Amino acid sequence: MQIKTIFAGFGGQGVLMMGYTFAVAAMREDKIVTYLPSYGAEVRGGTANCTVAISDEEIASPIASSPEFIVVMNKPSLHSFQNKVQTGGILFLNSTLIDEDPSRGDIESIAIDAGDMAEGIGDARTANLIMLGAFIKKTNLVNIDAAIGGLGDIFEGKKKVIEMNSNALTIGYDSLK
């Protein structure tokens, strides 16, 4: 089994952190993982995306021609990535910033109001992990506890940040049935 996911948005949305948290969670579950970030020269506002491949055997190419899953955080990303996802795949979109549906009928699309939910818990910056929480619930690729545990490694020593992000992950996870 080899599953590839692209996470995309603009710089500053925490798109790379979203993919990285997922990659760390998969690593904690002893899966074989590659994490490949790609971003513009701008610190904020440019395009940002990352590809995470998880597998139980060697991953040849860390690049995804036609990923199983795509998570898009803004409209330009929807436009540039919706055609990549494979037939039968799932597209997760941040409906706070994306007010249109994907133009494809052969994929499932799941809208998560991640931006508003993040505002709701008092930190708009956590929209990324709310999105990831929902992604983990739907795909069941890793255990949510592995992701929450991973946050402890990623933000080592920053208790408040860990708390805030764990909370966001859980809220996103619980937002889907």
Partner 1 sequence: MRGNTVVGEAAIRAGCTCYFGYPITPQNELPEYMSRRLTEIEDGIFIQSESEISAINMVLGASVAGARVMTSSSSPGISLKQEGISFLCGDELPAVIVNMVRGGPGLGNISPAQSDYFQSTRGGGHGDYRTVVLAPASCQEMADLTMEAFDISDYYRNPVLILADGMLGQMMEPVTFENYKPRELPKKDYIIDGAKGRPSRFVRSLILNTKDMEEHNWKLMRKYKMITKNEIKCDEFMMDDAKIAVVAYGTAARIAKGAVKRARKEGLKVGLIRPITLWPYPSEVIKKWARSVSLFVVFEMSAGQMIEDVELSLKGSSEVYFYGRPGGVIPTPMELVKIISSQYYQKGF
Site residues, partner 1 (CB under 8 A): 20, 23, 27, 32-38, 41, 60-66
Angle CA 10–52–141, to nearest 5: 115
Query: By C-beta, is 36 or 162 nearer to partner 1?
Result: 36
Instruction: Judge whether 38 and 10 are in contact, CB under 8 Å.
Output: no
- CA pair distance 147, 77, nearest whole angstrom: 24
Tokens representing residue 159 in the block: 């208790």
Q: How far is the CB of 130 from partner 1 (least distance, A)?
A: 23
Output 38 or 95, the one with its CB closest to partner 1.
38
Q: Closest distance between partner 1 and the C-beta of residue 72, in Å?
A: 19
At 2 the three-state DSSP class reads strand
Residue that has been written with the tokens 């994907």 in this structure: 102
Nearer to partner 1, 67 or 172 (CB): 67
Shortest separation between residue 20's beta carbon and partner 1, angstroms: 7
Burial class from Cβ neighbours inside 10 Å (0-12, 13-18, 19+) for residue 21 reads: buried
Task: Please give the Cα distance from 36 to 8 (Å, whole number).
Answer: 12
CB-side neighbour CA atoms (13 Å) of 114: 33
| Closer residue to partner 1, CB minimum distance, 43 or 99 | 43
The least distance separating partner 1 from the CB of residue 121, rounded to whole angstroms, comes to 28
C-beta of 27 vs 162, nearer to partner 1 = 27
| Distance of closest approach, residue 32 Cβ to partner 1, in angstroms | 8
CB 63 within 8 A of CB 51: yes
